[in-house]
């Protein structure tokens, strides 16, 4: 039985209890959220996760870090380092998006090493297997798709991105309009290419009941992918994107009917004034399912700093219903990310999620800022450094520039406003 099915029966599981404790809510409350489908716990029933989490309404906003090889960069050691760094700096989940090297071996190592839920995009393996068989990444059929899903579920993958919304109908909607950038999702592009060549419906859509069988058997959470997400701010919230989103809403109900946990993936490149509307549309069309957004990036020109462009959109999204933020690294649009890029991406995303948690009045988030401000008012540097989002960096910065008076910093030195106020006795706490 899946966690969703237990919740339907009102059964509080040990997993719910563990996750609720970490979240600072009662297991009963979490069970109710799972029952309503407004929260999920991505956790394959074959796997044991030391740091499981729940994602959804009323919970702290979670973040995901994408790792994995590419066809150009296939060093497994690097990917394991990225996993360790992502987890160290606070990623709540990780996706292995490998498309280079021995995918099964890579995934197996990452699964073994990951203390957090692990997601994949199974169509990548389908395409890579086809390419290895005959040099043609599109030479696959629905049986290959189902075989990969079964094998990955059996291996312990906790959530699957399934691009079942890239259908003949939604692609036709997309083609009718002018987009600057057509399809920018790798999975979406593979499937749209396959459909164009074979003149057939998307196998993930056509065989969705078979997908659900597998997801239900292993309690793999389905993350319904946005294969038609905008890749330019000029393509945001267009008919193609919304046609897919509505379809994902219909699939959400099919998942729930079969006892399968489901969340929805979202954009992408979105101007800041369309972010809130995107959150509202998802909650409406997809029946309150958790929303997992990529950014959103609020401009197309921030290559080298897309973690910042994404944190801006992600923070506002998190205030208005986004439940799960996929990080972006400074490498986005430029190269396969380095270990250092992963660190920067995770931290930027955590800041965005935390900004949302503050607005959503998550008690632990508020307590963190309160403690920091109190430490600042006391010029208690040890506590300030410990409470910084990245204590290592904060300590290194402070060590690099030491003040003559140890209770201030070198920014203001003897003109530290907090110290001036204390000396003058003007403002007391």
Q: How far apart are CA 125 and CA 96, in angstroms?
A: 11
State whether residue 92 is helix, strand or coil: coil
Residue 18 CB, nearest approach to its own copies (Å): 26
Least Å distance, CB 176 to its own copies, is 11
Instruction: Select 16 or 59, whichever has its Cβ closest to its own copies.
Output: 59
Residue 360: how many CB atoms within 10 A of its CB? 18
Nearest residue (CB) to its own copies, 15 versus 325: 325
Within a 10 A sphere around the Cβ of 301, how many other Cβ atoms? 11
Least separation, in Å, of the C-beta of 78 and its own copies?
Answer: 11
Q: Would you say 181 or 250 has its CB closer to its own copies? A: 181
Whose tokens are 């270990």? That residue is 339
Shortest distance (Å) from residue 315 CB to its own copies? 4
Measured from the CB atom, the residue of 165 and 356 that comes closer to its own copies is 356
Shortest separation between residue 44's beta carbon and its own copies, angstroms? 25
Q: What distance in Å separates the CA atoms of residue 300 and residue 72, rounded to the nearest whole number?
A: 24
Q: How far apart are CA 323 and CA 31, in angstroms?
A: 17
Smallest distance, Å, CB 63 to its own copies?
14
Q: Residue 130: how many CA atoms within 13 Å on its side-chain side?
A: 20
Q: Which is nearer to its own copies, 2 or 185 (CB)?
A: 185
- Rounded least distance, CB 103 to its own copies, Å: 13
In angstroms, give the least distance from the CB of 155 to its own copies: 21
Pick the closest to residue 73 from 81, 65, 85, 64 (CA basis).
81
DSSP E strand stretches across 267-376: 291-294, 324-326
Q: Are 83 and 114 in contact (CB under 8 A)?
A: yes
Between 50 and 400, whose beta carbon lies closer to its own copies?
A: 400
Residues 79 and 367: their CA atoms lie apart, in Å, by 34
Write the DSSP assignment of 24-89 as a string of letters. Answer: TS-HHHHHHHHHHTSEE----TT---SS---EETTSPPEEEEEE---SS---HHHHHHHHHHHHHT
Nearer to its own copies, 13 or 137 (CB): 137
As a dihedral over the C-alpha atoms of residue 350, residue 353, residue 358, residue 361, rounded to 10 degrees, the angle is: -130
CB-nearer residue toward its own copies: 9 or 429: 429
């Amino acid at each position: 039985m899946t966690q969703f099915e237990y919740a339907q029966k009102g059964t509080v599981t040990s997993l719910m209890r563990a996750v609720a404790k970490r979240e600072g809510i009662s297991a009963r409350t979490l069970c109710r959220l799972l029952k309503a489908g407004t929260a999920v716990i991505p956790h394959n029933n074959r796997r044991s996760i030391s740091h499981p989490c729940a994602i959804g309404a009323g919970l702290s906003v979670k973040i995901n870090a994408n790792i994995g090889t590419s066809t150009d960069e296939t060093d497994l050691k690097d990917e394991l380092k990225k996993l360790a760094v992502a987890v160290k700096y606070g990623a709540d989940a990780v996706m292995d998006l490998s498309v280079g090297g021995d995918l099964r071996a890579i995934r197996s190592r990452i699964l073994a090493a990951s203390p957090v839920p692990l997601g994949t995009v199974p169509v990548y393996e389908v395409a890579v297997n086809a390419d290895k068989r005959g040099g043609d990444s599109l030479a696959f059929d629905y049986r290959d798709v189902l075989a990969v899903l079964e094998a990955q579920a059996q291996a312990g993958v906790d959530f699957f991105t399934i691009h079942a919304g890239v259908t003949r109908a939604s692609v036709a909607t997309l083609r009718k309009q002018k987009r600057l950038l057509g399809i920018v999702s790798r999975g979406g592009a593979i499937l749209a290419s396959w459909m164009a060549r074979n003149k057939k419906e998307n196998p993930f859509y056509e065989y969705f009941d078979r997908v659900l069988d597998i997801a239900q058997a292993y309690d793999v959470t389905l993350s319904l992918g946005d294969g038609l997400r905008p890749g330019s701010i000029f393509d945001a919230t267009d008919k193609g994107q919304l046609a897919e989103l509505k379809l994902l809403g219909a699939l959400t109900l099919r998942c729930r009917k079969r006892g399968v946990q489901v969340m929805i993936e979202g954009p992408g490149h979105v101007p800041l004034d369309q972010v809130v509307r995107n959150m509202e549309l998802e909650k409406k069309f997809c029946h309150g399912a958790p929303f997992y957004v990529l950014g959103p990036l609020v401009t197309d020109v921030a290559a080298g700093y897309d973690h910042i462009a994404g944190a801006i959109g992600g923070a506002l999204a998190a205030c208005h219903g986004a439940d799960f933020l996929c990080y972006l690294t400074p490498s986005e649009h430029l190269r396969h990310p380095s270990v250092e890029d992963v660190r920067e991406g995770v931290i930027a995303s955590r800041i965005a999620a935390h900004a949302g948690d503050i607005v959503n009045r998550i008690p632990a988030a508020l307590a963190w800022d309160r403690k920091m401000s109190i430490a600042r008012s006391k010029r208690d540097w040890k506590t300030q450094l410990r409470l910084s989002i990245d204590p290592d960096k904060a300590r290194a910065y402070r060590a690099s520039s030491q003040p003559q008076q140890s209770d201030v910093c070198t920014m203001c030195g003897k003109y530290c406003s907090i110290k001036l106020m204390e000396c003058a006795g003007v403002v007391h706490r």
